[in-house]
Structure formats: C-alpha cells, structure tokens
A and B are shown apart, each in its own frame.
Chain A
Amino acid sequence: MSLKNTATRWSASIRRLDEALGRLAEPIIPLIPEDVPVALRRLLEPIGTAEAIEQVIRDLLGDLCGQLGERGLGARTLLLGLERIDGSEQKVPIGTVRATRDPAHLARLFHLRIERIDPGGGIEAMRLAATRTDPLGATALIGTLAGDDARADLSMLVDQLAGRAGSEALFTVGAVESDVPERATCRAAPLDTPDGWQAWKRPVRLLRQPEPLTNVVALLPDHPPRRFAWRGTVHAVVAGDGPERIHGEWWRRDGEVWAVRDYFRVEDEAGARFWLFRRGDGVDQATGDLSWYMHGLFG
C-alpha cells in the first residue's frame, strides 16, 4: 500500500495527528454572544415603594431606549432584574408583539407588573436588559394632510391587553380552507391579518354545537323550511336561500364519508336571519337522516 493510499484512507486520523503535533493550524471559532443592550442603576439608598421603583424603571428605560435607538434596534423582550438588600434577585420579564423603543409604552407595560414585585427589605440595584431585539429603523411621521387612511397600529393595545390577560388569551380569528364551518376557522396571532376567507356570507355567530330544530315543515329535496321551532319558539320563514351543499371530509373520519349537510339562510317574519342545515341531501338515505339543525345567527 502506497503512502498516498494510506493517507486517503486514514485522512481524518492523520489530520488529527497533524493538528496534535502542531503541523496543521487548528483555529478555534469562538461563539461570540451578541452584545445585549443593558442599563444599570445602583441606588444610593434601598428603595421599596412602587413609585420609587417605577421612577427607576423610567430612568432605565430612558437609558436603554437611547442605546437601542443608536443601534437601530427595537426591543421584543425586556428583562428587569432587581437586587434586594439580602442579595436575592427577582426577575421581571415583559414582551412586546412588535419591536419598539418607546419608553412611555414600555413603562406602561412594566406598570402592569409592578404589583408583582416584592421589594423585600429594599432594592439596591436594578438592571434592565433587552434580551431579544429586532431591527427597527427610523420611521417617517405619517402625514395626515393627504388624508392618509393607514390602519391604526394595534400593537400597543395588544401589548397592554396581553400584560393584563396573558398573551395566550389574545388571538384573532384566521381562516382555514375547509368547507365544514366548524373547521373553517383557527386562532391566529393578534396582529395577523388573515386572508383566504370565503367570498360568500357566513353568520356572525356560529353556535358551538348545532342545536336540533323541531316541527320543521319543508319540501324535499332543495327547499328551505317554511316554519321551524327553535328553543321553544316557532319561527315562520318568509324568505330563504339555499341549499349550500357541504360534503363531509371523508379523509378525516369514517362517519363523514357519505355525510352531506344542506345549509339554508332563512329570514323569519320578525326579520331575524338564521343559518340552518339539514343532514342529508334529501335523496339518498346514506347522506343523512333529514333532521334539521340551527347552526348560526346573522346580525
């Protein structure tokens, strides 16, 4: 076996030997932590009142937002560390849905958390770090002269509501491409602008569970009911549109393979509009038992 062959065969081991003997350079590529913007205040006298803590937070925010502005960054999460006199530390995190370096807005977010701060014997140092930042350039002031109809920025409202209710409690309704009404919506992040909505009308309120109707008078197969009773009240229908046929999503459940719902939009004599459906297409028994349900209310 020639030396060359040996070299290719054992190349990895030989390279390690060379590196060990210093014949080959073995640079270490260090992981450099990104420099986190930090503001620090050491206090001359320990503080314990909410007002004093808030004042220090405002000072820290002033320092930090200055730093962020210089670097063209906006904060997404901030971590406030409070050192108590006994050496223990409390940490208070806040988050924002959109990068910001507005001290007043951030101060409001901390204000919502202030009662959770336990000063103990007194706080002698406070430290504020922007643990997660996003690029945030300078923005032009929106000129209202030309009648700008830019959408109101909801991010500050969302931050404050999330501060009160928890970020899981906030969502907006997004669309899912499904014909089955129960599956047509999902929860999306509060600031998303969902698209992909159906072009046609859907009720403003969908009942959690379709409610059975009684005493339904309707012609088969394709006519809306003439009258029906729902929650003990009899409604006489004066106008109706339909059917909108929705097939079961057969790839999800065995029970939906043949299932059909025929939806009707109807108006009763009082002017109220309802979204009803009949199980079954009115022709084939396998598609449903022809029972009627209330599924939604139009405004």
Chain B
Amino acid sequence: MDPSKPIYVELQVTSHFSFLRGASSPDELFAAASVLGYQALGVADLGSVAGVVRAWEAQKATGVRLIAGSRLVLDDGRNLLLYPTDRPAWSRLSRLLTLGKSRAGKGGCSLGWSDLAASAEGLIAILLPDLPGEATARSLAELRETFGERGYCSLAFRRRPDDAMRLHELAVQAQAARVRAVATGDVLYHASEARLLQDVVTAIREKCTVDMLGHRRERHALSCADTVSYVKSIA
C-alpha cells in the first residue's frame, strides 16, 4: 500500500441520489476522492441504492473502488449505514428497501428494527449515533444482538463544542456493548464550493428561504476534503 495515500475510507457518503439531501453527483464525489488519494469510497444514499449505477461508472473512470450500500432512517429515528458483504445480502437489502418504500408510499421509507433484523444476514451495519446516552446504549445492545461482529458504531466529527467528549463517551459506550467503532465523516458534498448548493437544497427540502433555514441547515456536513484534513490531523 502506498504510504503517502490515506488509508482512511469514507463510508458515510451521500450523493445527490438522496433527493434534496446530498448536493454532489457520484461523478463529482469520485473525482474529488481520486484527487485526494482515496482508494475506496462507500456510497450510502438515504433509503435507496439509486446512486449505484452512476457510482459504478465513476469507479471505472477514476479507479477509486466503490463500496455500495444504503443508509436507513428507521421509524424510531435510528440512523444506520448498511453494507452488504455478498450478493444474497445485496438482494436482502434491496428487498428490505422495497418493503419500506411500498409501506410508506412515494418518497418515504418506513422500516422498524424487526424488519431490519429479518434481513440482517450478511449485512454490515454501522450505527450513526447522535449523542451518547441511554437511547444510544439500547441501540448498541440491540445492534450487537442482531448483527454480532458485523455491527459497528460510527464515530464522526461534527466540529461542534465538546466534540471530543462526545466521541469519547460514544467510544466507551460502544466498547461496553462490545461493538467496534469505525470512523466516518458524513460527506454530503464533494468540495467546499458545493456547500452553497447544499444550503439551497436543504432550503428546498424545508420549503423556506435560505435566510429562514436557521438551525435546519446541514451543520454537521463535511466535504471530502474536510475528512482528509481530519485523517491527516489524527495521523
């Protein structure tokens, strides 16, 4: 492995196939990843695998390996990244998404933990916790029970006050639940130029002007370049 290239692989990337969430196309994301020296990129769109085709093309063009998956928001608010490890698991994931979409109707995806548990075989699940606490502890225990070794807890920088403490507490909780931690970065756009577009997209989603967005802006979102700077600062 080339030591000059970062060994970090971003697993929490949302492309513009997550409608009104992500701001960049898979092409743009993979081009940015290639320039920054990533060797692989995990694309997980919100309740969808629609970005996979364009990401596959981008993989061929850039040589950055695609890790295809999906991001789920369960009905109880839990956020998970799901990555299939083999083809039957991919089928289970897509069937799970079909079930969620048929239940919720257009644009939605309604799934509970029991649905997920039924399709858990062969899936890697990464829990995206918000704040450490009892709810997170319960989620972690359930994750360990259902996914065993294939369940992970994401630790992501947010660049907010007390971030270090939040991450420390989450890491301790994950360890207590015997869930391994994985670093992710919540990438919503490929370069800082796209942040403007990101705000506009969020405003459209929230049906208001950019000025009125206030705290509904995507304030934790990062670009590809941001996460690389983190990896460098940790290394």
Contact = CB atoms under 8 A, between A and B. Distances in A.
A251 B211 contact: yes
B161 A221 contact: no
Contact of A283 (B161, B164, B215, B225): B225
Interface string A151-179: 00000000000000000000000001111
How many chain B residues sit at the interface, stated as a range, is 20 to 34
Q: Looking at chain B's contact residues, is the secondary structure mostly helix, strand, loop, or mixed?
A: helix
B52 to A, nearest CB: 30
B159 A201 contact: no
Interface in B75-117: none
Nearest to A275: B161
A179 B219 contact: yes
A284 B230 contact: no
B86 to A, nearest CB: 38
A265 interface: yes
B175 interface: no
Contact of B230 (A176, A201, A222): A222
Interface stretch (A16-24, A131-139, A238-246): A238-246
B4 interface: no
Contact of A222 (B165, B199, B233): B233
Contacts of A188: none
A137 B146 CA distance: 60
Contact of A178 (B160, B192, B214, B225): B214
B137 interface: no
Interface string B177-217: 00000000000000010011001000000000011001101
Q: Which of the listed residues B160, B161, B162, B226 has the most CB atoms from chain A within 10 Å of its own CB?
A: B161
B219 A244 contact: no
A244 B159 contact: yes
B192 A241 contact: no
A241 B214 contact: no
Nearest to B219: A179
Contact of A200 (B160, B211, B214, B233): B160
Interface residues of A, number: 29
A176 B160 CA distance: 18
A273 interface: no
Nearest to B131: A199
A225 to B, nearest CB: 15
A282 interface: yes
A43 interface: no
Contact of B192 (A243, A251, A284): A284
Given A200-B161, A201-B161, A283 B229 contact: yes
A222 B163 CA distance: 12
Given A200-B161, A221-B229, 11 more contacts: A176-B214, A178-B214, A201-B161, A241-B161, A244-B161, A245-B159, A250-B196, A251-B199, A251-B210, A281-B229, A283-B225
29 contacts: A176-B214, A177-B215, A178-B214, A179-B217, A196-B215, A200-B160, A200-B161, A201-B162, A221-B233, A222-B229, A241-B162, A241-B164, A241-B165, A242-B161, A243-B159, A244-B161, A247-B195, A250-B195, A250-B199, A251-B210, A251-B211, A258-B192, A262-B159, A281-B226, A281-B229, A282-B229, A284-B192, A284-B225, A287-B192
